[in-house]
Amino acid sequence: MNLSSKNHQGIGMTSQRTRDRLIQRLKDQGIDNESVLEVMRRMPRHLFVDEALAHRAYEDTALPIGYAQTISQPYIVALMTQRLLVPGMPNSVLEIGTGCGYQTAVLANIFPQVYSVERIEALYKAAKKRLAELDLFNVQLRHTDGNGGWPNLNYQFDRIIVTAACNEVPENLTTQLANDGVMIFPFDNGQDQTLTQITRTSQGLVSKSLEKVSFVPMLPGII
């Protein structure tokens, strides 16, 4: 990641000191994976939001990114990423819902191969530009409906992360999950959302509920 320019380093409310405070907060909330903490400590989150919101970029909160969408709360990004790393060191990860590309950038500093899809073309284009500016060349992005997973695939992913809430287990995605692969997604039962982990074992899919969350909904089609 190219973090050498002044813009990437940040000053005042985007300075390293402000970022370090966020990392301490994540630790206090139970995030303990050193590589996740280190990547998020270095990641210039202020570059993923509108300039007018840059001073709030290191608060542990979701922020608007336009088109009625949000950049996820740092704690949730850390929690989901940490979950994907247990157990072992997977090679490839598919993300559904690129948004501004922040979660994608965190993944790209940890996983060798990152694939991410977004249904809103304007967000897809902006994320593509941002990730190239950060020299993250191990990411492939597509403007497509993630309900179908990665298009025309003859490959399965070690990990899948869905960053929009699903009303049912997304079966098109579980078929793209490799053996021993782990998928994490927010499941919306109509009343509330629960972060859910699915593991593909030799006996089939095993599901586990994690914690209550709040995500924008997974929507059909592209715009």
Chain residues in the site for ligand SAH (CB under 6 A): 69-72, 96-97, 99-100, 102-103, 117-120, 123, 145-147, 163-164, 216, 218-219
**Burial zone of 215 (CB within 10 Å; 0-12 exposed, 13-18 middle, 19+ buried):** buried
Query: Residue 204 Cβ, how far from ligand SAH at the closest point, in Å?
Result: 25
Q: Which residues pair with 209 in a beta bridge?
A: 196
Query: Residue 166 Cβ, how far from ligand SAH at the closest point, in Å?
Result: 9
Nearer to ligand SAH, 4 or 169 (CB): 169
Query: Residue 71 Cβ, how far from ligand SAH at the closest point, in Å?
Result: 4
**Burial zone of 169 (CB within 10 Å; 0-12 exposed, 13-18 middle, 19+ buried):** middle
Query: Residue 116 Cβ, how far from ligand SAH at the closest point, in Å?
Result: 8
- Cα–Cα distance between 24 and 69 in angstroms, integer? 27
Nearer to ligand SAH, 33 or 163 (CB): 163
Selection from 9, 28, 5 nearest residue 19 by Cα: 9
- Cα–Cα distance between 120 and 98 in angstroms, integer? 9
Selected catalytic residue, list 4, 5, 15, 72:
72
Which DSSP category does 199 fall into? E
- Cα–Cα distance between 43 and 63 in angstroms, integer? 16
Q: Are 157 and 177 in contact (CB under 8 A)?
A: yes
Nearer to ligand SAH, 6 or 52 (CB): 52
Query: What would you measure as the largest C-alpha separation in the chain, in angstroms?
Result: 53
Query: Catalytic annotation on 72?
Result: yes
Query: Residue 43 Cβ, how far from ligand SAH at the closest point, in Å?
Result: 11
Nearer to ligand SAH, 10 or 170 (CB): 170
- Cα–Cα distance between 34 and 27 in angstroms, integer? 10
Nearer to ligand SAH, 99 or 181 (CB): 99
Catalytic site positions? 72
